[in-house]
Amino acid sequence: MNAQQPVHGDDPCADHPHADHHAMSAAEQDNDLLDFEGLRLTLMLNRKLIALILTLGLALGVASVVFMPRTYTARSSVQIDQQTRKVLGTEDADPQGSAQDADRFLQTQVDILNSRAMAKHVSDTLGLATSDAFLKRTSGRAPTNLEPGELEDRVIDTLQRNLIVDLPHNSRVVGVMFKSRDAALAAQISNTFVSEFIKGNIQRKFSASSYSLDFLSNQLNVAKSRLEESERTLITYSRTAGLIDASTGAAVPVGQPQGPQSLVTANLVELNQRQAVAKADRLQAEERWRQASSTPLMQLPEVLSNNAVQQLLQSRAQLSSKLQELRARLKPDHPTVIQATTELNELDNEARVLAESIRGSIKNQYLVAVRQDDAIQAAVNGLKSATLSEQDRTVRFNILKREVDTNRQLYDSLLQRYKEVSAASGVTVNNITQVDVAEAPRKPTSPRALLNMAVALGASVVLAAMAVLLRSRMSTTITDPREVETRLGLPLLGAVPIDPTGEPLTTLLSPKSDIAEAYHAIRTAVELSSRTGTPSSILLTSNRPSEGKSTSSFALARDFALLGKKVLLIDADLRRPTLHRLLDVDNSGDGFSTVLARRMGINEAVVATRIENLSFLPTGPIPPDPANLFSGPVLRELLEGLRASYDLVVLDSPPVLSLADTVELTSAAQATIFVMEAGSAQIKAMRQSLERLRRSGGHVLGAIVSKYDARTASGTHGYAYGYSYGD
């Protein structure tokens, strides 16, 4: 890339003795348009253009008065009373709503009048779409070769375009106006709009009840279908899952909620109750058997209470008494005594056998109770397992059951509402009445000669002013890099091409890119800018933000570091720092502001970068007033001290205009480079910025034109910033 090099010397401006003269002459030529002398010169330079525009504007105004067709406007009016329509009840009401509600209601009625549906009603009523007569009477010419549908659309569009609805403030009387070249037609259409509007309002009120009934009927059918579907789904799932609702047949224990129970649950509840009874019977039978086994046989209450045993004991007692009498009279071996003794023994054996059978029955009852208890317990355990496995299926059952209940409630509520609307539907009175009837106007409303000429003159003046301003503004920016020397009197260090990828930093890192070559040339221009070599400290600034000064600061510092020089890059923009993001460095700690405040040394704040020989000093905490930190001898002493440690210090400063930071920085730095964006940098603003830098004692080394697109240069002013390496 070839770059224009400034003349060698300590002061480039000194090597160009006419630089200040050129800058002053350019500044004098770029006076503000508010200056009378500048305004006079501008008018003189553009007098032919202004005269041409004014002449054409007035000619168009005269032509509009002469050739514009005469248009008539007919006006009718309607009174619109606010009213709340009630679906239930037949009373009329005119509620006292808020002003905002009233305005919203009136605007709604105006929108109905302006609607396409209303225009179609008017067209159908008057039969306007049956032929092209309406279009011819309205616009003066009739379109040809139109299909019936296209003709109707054209008629409706014409009706909407020529209709004017006037809604005055603080009034309920709305004006309905229609414009046409035919006065009688204008009055007829205006009155038809009013009549169709009133009929439509009445029709909407009549159809409100039927619409409500139709809507409720549709919703009722939908709710009924949903209810039936949910019930069928519930029954199908119950059959599939084997769930049987036994709530109507199974007894519900005390303390448990009423609700649907499955057959398994009902059996479990019933067996649980039987188990309690069987357990009690078992304990009772066990206690009886324990008592019977430990009590003498003939002393058992069951034995003593037995009728057969009682009869045997009674017979034994009689026989025993008789035996005692016989033994008293007869010898023991007497046959009568032996027979009586034998009968007594038989009675004792019979009583003992009967008692044994009674005790055996008690034992049998105990064993039966044990078996019954065990059987019921086994059945309960089996039902418990079945109940646990059934609970997962019951969850889905309950969900479906709740859905059935919800659908049933919705169906019942809709059915109740449908009955209410059917029983109490009524019609309210019409709240729109016609006030004025449109008559055929006698005078046209358009064109208006004075208004047309005034509009034409005003538009011509505005257009002429815009043309002059546009013409003057077309040359107020730097579009060609060579204009830096001719219009600003400033040496050009180089031009950086615009990056088509939108990522200039990424392109810069490519050594064969146009941007990298541009900064190589700029670095060379800086090295050759004076007889003493490269300055020890260079400040880069611009007229306004986002012109590329931060990228240029990083690029120059990187190029010098790659040459082997020890470079320190300082982010001196204490208002909107950006370099820490380019270098991927944390800016939350101490930095340049901390050093300027003498709270720490420069070596403690400097951080290393990934680029060899390049160090970076971030801004650090943003101070409330950066200009105060730059004032005084601190900055100069800091830059003087850095000469011993670094070959070059590059400072990225804030923009010049409206800030005092750069004025302080440029007076301390050995050299200043001005960065400007091609195509957007205003010459007047840049001259003011350069003047501020020079007045503050800054040594402006030259300028860098950034984001330059050679394709936008016109004629031979394209700046050839170099050749490419090729694809």
Nearest to 678 by CA among 479, 495, 493: 479
pLDDT-based confidence at 566, cuts 50/70/90?
Answer: very high
Average pLDDT over the chain, rounded to an integer: 78
pLDDT: is 149 or 86 the higher one? 149
Nearest to 572 by CA among 608, 603, 599, 540: 540
C-alpha dihedral sign at 415, 416, 419, 420: negative
pLDDT-based confidence at 504, cuts 50/70/90?
Answer: low
Whole-Å CA distances, 668 to 87, 307, 395, 538, 624: 84, 138, 83, 10, 21
pLDDT-based confidence at 489, cuts 50/70/90?
Answer: confident
Q: What is the 3-state secondary structure (H, E, C) of 243-293?
A: CCCCCCCCCCCCCCCCCCCCHHHHHHHHHHHHHHHHHHHHHHHHHHHHHHH
Top mean pLDDT of 20-29, 81-90, 108-117, 417-426 is at 108-117
Q: Please answer whether residues 453 and 57 qualify as being in contact, where contact means their C-beta atoms are separated by less than 8 angstroms.
A: no
pLDDT tens column, 426-449: 545 678 888 899 888 888 877 777
Least confident range of 119-123, 351-355, 502-506:
502-506
The C-alpha atoms of residue 47 and residue 44 are separated, in whole angstroms, by 5
Q: Which residue has the tokens 């058992």?
A: 300
Q: Please answer whether residues 639 and 537 qualify as being in contact, where contact means their C-beta atoms are separated by less than 8 angstroms.
A: yes
pLDDT at residue 391, rounded to an integer: 66
pLDDT at residue 45, rounded to an integer: 55
Q: Which residue has the tokens 């040359």?
A: 475
Q: Please answer whether residues 186 and 179 qualify as being in contact, where contact means their C-beta atoms are separated by less than 8 angstroms.
A: yes
pLDDT at residue 723, rounded to an integer: 37
| pLDDT exceeds 70 at position 186 | yes
| pLDDT exceeds 80 at position 408 | yes
Written as six digits, the tokens of 343 are 């009968």
pLDDT at residue 684, rounded to an integer: 84
Least confident range of 379-383, 549-553, 703-707:
379-383
What's the longest Cα–Cα distance across the chain?
Answer: 185
Q: Please answer whether residues 536 and 670 qualify as being in contact, where contact means their C-beta atoms are separated by less than 8 angstroms.
A: yes
Q: Please answer whether residues 536 and 546 qualify as being in contact, where contact means their C-beta atoms are separated by less than 8 angstroms.
A: no
The C-alpha atoms of residue 1 and residue 203 are separated, in whole angstroms, by 81
| pLDDT exceeds 50 at position 194 | yes
Bridge partners (DSSP) of residue 492 are: 703
Q: Beta-carbon neighbour count of residue 38 at 10 Å? A: 16
pLDDT: is 153 or 1 the higher one? 153
Virtual torsion, Cα 394, 395, 398, 400, nearest 10 deg: -110
The domain spans of the chain are: 12-16+476-711, 31-68+447-473
Written as six digits, the tokens of 633 are 């001898």
| pLDDT exceeds 80 at position 242 | no
Task: Please tell me whether the peptide bond between 447 and the residue prior to it is cis, using omega within 30 degrees of 0.
Answer: yes
Fold (topology level) of 12-16+476-711: Rossmann fold (3.40.50)
The C-alpha atoms of residue 499 and residue 555 are separated, in whole angstroms, by 14
Top mean pLDDT of 309-318, 381-390, 617-626 is at 617-626
Range 620-624 average pLDDT: 88
| pLDDT exceeds 70 at position 34 | no
H or E stretch covering 672: strand 671-677
The C-alpha atoms of residue 461 and residue 463 are separated, in whole angstroms, by 5
pLDDT at residue 483, rounded to an integer: 76
pLDDT at residue 521, rounded to an integer: 92
| pLDDT exceeds 90 at position 99 | no
pLDDT: is 6 or 411 the higher one? 411
The conformation of residue 477, written as its DSSP 8-state character, comes to B
The C-alpha atoms of residue 521 and residue 502 are separated, in whole angstroms, by 22
The distance of Cα 330 from the centroid of its chain, to the nearest Å, equals 129
pLDDT-based confidence at 246, cuts 50/70/90?
Answer: low
Q: Please answer whether residues 654 and 662 qualify as being in contact, where contact means their C-beta atoms are separated by less than 8 angstroms.
A: yes
pLDDT at residue 556, rounded to an integer: 93
H or E stretch covering 522: helix 514-527
The C-alpha atoms of residue 177 and residue 84 are separated, in whole angstroms, by 28
Phi and psi torsions of 435, nearest 5°: -100, -55
pLDDT tens column, 148-181: 788 888 889 989 999 999 988 888 899 999 998 8
| pLDDT exceeds 60 at position 188 | yes
pLDDT at residue 174, rounded to an integer: 92
Least confident range of 257-261, 359-363, 657-661:
257-261
Range 297-318 average pLDDT: 76
pLDDT-based confidence at 672, cuts 50/70/90?
Answer: very high
pLDDT at residue 32, rounded to an integer: 42
* 640: helix, strand or coil: helix
| pLDDT exceeds 60 at position 726 | no
Range 630-642 average pLDDT: 87
Q: Please answer whether residues 582 and 554 qualify as being in contact, where contact means their C-beta atoms are separated by less than 8 angstroms.
A: yes
pLDDT: is 427 or 452 the higher one? 452
